Structure 1
Amino acid sequence: MSEPLSIVILGLSLSSAWGNGHATTYRALVAGLAADGHRVLFLERDVPWYAAHRDFTSSDDCRLAFYDGLDDLRRFLPEIRSANAVIVGSYVPEGREVIDLVLGARPALACFYDIDTPVTLAGLDAGETEFLAPAQIPPLDLYFSFAGGRSLRRLEEDFGARRALALYCSVDPARYASTGEAPVWDLGYLGTYSPDRQPKLEELMFEPARRCPQMRFIVAGARYPETTDWPANVAHVEHLAPEAHPSFYSRQRFTLNLTRADMVASGYAPSVRLFEAAACGTPVISDRWDGLDTLLPEDAIFTAASADEVVAVLSEVTEARRRAVADAARTRILAGHTGTARARELVTHLRAAMPAGTALRAARA
């Protein structure tokens, strides 16, 4: 059996899933790493927004530590220097400075995990990405990307990444499974407000709700403007802690998956919500984008681009087909998109890139 690795992750948040999809992505990943015996130190900037909404403060899967700023982060330099790999995530506060600190510490492998790749690329093109500078990409040993496809080629060809690799989000099946509760809502959606997603929410959720007043709908997510015109049969919950997600999904006949505009444009950029809903056995109605069929083929998902198509699914799909599609999706996700599967992909890439002789030394340090 291969020696376990020592990995340091500096991510946006592990402790709070409020208003972000990073936390559940990291939780599934570190759980998968721990299951195979790897040691993880997760470093999180202690910021008021997440501190006030923490739903995860300790774990058997990793050591979670907070730092107040760059000066405070320096106390972790011994762990950063001795780790087999150090991974800095997208949207980390003062991310450019954090990357410089990591590169200066010269760990065995310095990596970046972009959970927002299409947004990052748009920012790099416009010179507006605060957490990553273009000049910092070539020195990184590996660039892990939430998005595959053309995004990987752009990172290597346009920005000089040594090696860009897809590392999709994943789901922890120990935390996401059907609760067996009966459906309460015909269609639900879990997502923080985003201006570029709102037109799709209007078309694929609000308009079907207006056309089907006899049905019940729900949206769970923070930061929606007070001016939002909620149809009478659409309930709104500002936030759901991750432990409430399985019950939320289980009580929907169908759940809606909406993708940000930059991610649709790039393709191959699945949301963690897609995997979570499928793991809970809830059939998904998704907007369309390149690469979706490589994850969930047509027998495992419903797609829609208009209110008419959503209404047709809600009104015409038989219970037998609804369950068959949900079962097909769950089977595919549990076979290849769990935290354990994703952790093994990560470790395989790390071992392949690791300088000879470093793994055993760092693991035993």
Structure 2
Amino acid sequence: MKFAFFGSSLVSAYWNGAATYYRGLIRNLAARGHSITFYEPDAFERQAHRDMPDPDWARDVVYGTGSLEPMRRALADAADADVIVKTSGVGIFDHELEAGVLELKRSGNVVIFWDVDAPATLDSVHADPGNPFRALIPRYDMICTYGGGKPVVDAYLALGARHCEPVYNALDTDTHHPVERDPRFACDLGFLGNRLPDREARVERFFLAAAAARPEMRFLLGGSGWGDKPMPGNVEYLGHVYTRDHNAFNCTPRAVLNVSRESMARYGFSPATRVFEAAGAGACLITDAWEGLELFLEPDREVLVARDGDEVAAHLDALDPARAAAIGQAALRKVRAHHTYAHRAEQLEAVLEGRTAGLAATAAIA
């Protein structure tokens, strides 16, 4: 099949946490014989902070943002694709793209809205009955999400979606794997995540509070936007950490922390990309508690779970190198066996083959 994706960026993870999700899924779709073009806007300095060249497994098209015309040309270029995907959070001309891809609907193709932040999208739609996206939901052949489980599926179906398919984050084995430790990232606990409104308070609660409670320990914070954030003296801020350094960042600390965004923690069943990146590097992961975690990793054996900063600190107190290594290796085995992007690409392909057949049958009856 020929795929056309409209998304934030494939080649830059700068202020774009979904990049590794897109890369893993699309690379594995290409490995299964599909042809993919990814269309991304030249926006938010992402092209100036690229962390990969144009890949050989997808065609990457960067379009201008000075007017709607470059976006319209990109839509015209995508018109002959078998599967046309508009992802959430492109960041510019989102409403126009959400309506524009639906204009490309024809007999035999599939048009998908792919929500990489379903809790936030649904909260926005529910809060504003006039949200223009609400009326478009029933027109898409399918809604895909990268998390949310039954609560998100039920919410989308209640809004008129024809089908909602969670395609969860996973491990990209080509990109994330164990490496040698790097002295730059030596610490007791590392956290990697951009500063976002519905994440900041939880980072304060789980990460900064733990650091304040253990002044004798060393903590590392990576990600964009934290430069002016007050922090305990034992927290070192690294700024943006490029994808090429993620393995070393995950492998080197005694433990790494995952902190979900507030909306994702509330809906549950939303493992962040960082969960699989850390597990795939064999890191000892401490995560905030959220419903559905046990579907991906087994608490206390493959991951440590905390409900606040005090519990994070208590885990660090009890965590010796041998136990940290055992947890990391158990998590690595689990995600390689069940949660890679090869698994997700196979899932999507199966769903699309069934969905395409259904659409063809419907068209034939009509």
* TM-score after normalising by structure 1: 0.91
User: Which of 85, 97, 108 is the aligned partner of 2:83?
Assistant: 85
User: Which of 308, 319, 332 is the aligned partner of 1:306?
Assistant: 308
**Quick one: distance in 2 between partners of 1:85 and 1:304?**
40
Farther off after superposition, 197-206 or 104-113: 197-206
Identify the residue that residue 71 of structure 1 maps to in structure 2: 69
How big is each residue's C-alpha offset from its partner over 1:209-254, in whole Å with a ceiling of 9 and x where there is no partner?
A: 233222211000111251x222111110110111111111111111
User: Which of 40, 45, 51 is the aligned partner of 1:55?
Assistant: 51
The unaligned stretches of length 5 or more in structure 2 are 361-366
Farther off after superposition, 88-97 or 177-186: 177-186
- Given that residues 120 and 129 in structure 1 are in contact (C-alpha distance below 8 angstroms), is that contact kept between their aligned partners in structure 2? no
Identify the residue that residue 241 of structure 1 maps to in structure 2: 242
**Quick one: distance in 1 between partners of 2:130 and 2:339?**
29
1:290 is paired with a residue of what secondary structure? Answer: coil
**Quick one: distance in 1 between partners of 2:358 and 2:259?**
43
**Quick one: distance in 2 between partners of 1:246 and 1:50?**
21
2:60 is paired with a residue of what secondary structure? Answer: strand
1:218 is paired with a residue of what secondary structure? Answer: strand
Residue identity matched to 2:322? A
How big is each residue's C-alpha offset from its partner over 1:306-353, in whole Å with a ceiling of 9 and x where there is no partner?
A: 232112211112333222211111111112222211111111111111
Matches within 5 A, 1:205-354: 205-224=207-226, 226=228, 228-298=229-299, 299-354=301-356
The unaligned stretches of length 5 or more in structure 1 are 359-365
Shift of 1:80: 2.5
Shift of 1:77: 4.5
**Quick one: distance in 2 between partners of 1:94 and 1:196?**
23
Residue identity matched to 2:70? D
Identify the residue that residue 363 of structure 1 maps to in structure 2: none
Identify the residue that residue 155 of structure 1 maps to in structure 2: 156
**Quick one: distance in 1 between partners of 2:357 and 2:75?**
20
Identify the residue that residue 361 of structure 1 maps to in structure 2: none
- Given that residues 176 and 281 in structure 2 are in contact (C-alpha distance below 8 angstroms), is that contact kept between their aligned partners in structure 1? yes
Alignment root-mean-square deviation, CA: 2.0
1:16 is paired with a residue of what secondary structure? Answer: coil
1:174 is paired with a residue of what secondary structure? Answer: coil
CA shift in 2, pair 1:129/1:113, >3 Å: farther
Identify the residue that residue 146 of structure 1 maps to in structure 2: 146
Farther off after superposition, 247-256 or 179-188: 179-188
CA shift in 2, pair 1:250/1:77, >3 Å: same
1:231 is paired with a residue of what secondary structure? Answer: coil
Identify the residue that residue 46 of structure 1 maps to in structure 2: 42
Identify the residue that residue 99 of structure 2 maps to in structure 1: 100
Instruction: Give aligned-pair identity as a percent.
Output: 32
Shift of 1:202: 2.2
Shift of 1:151: 0.8
Residue identity matched to 1:172? D
Matches within 5 A, 1:1-20: 5-20=1-16
CA shift in 2, pair 1:112/1:63, >3 Å: same
Q: Which one scores higher on RCO, CA 8 angstroms, separation ≥ 6?
A: 1
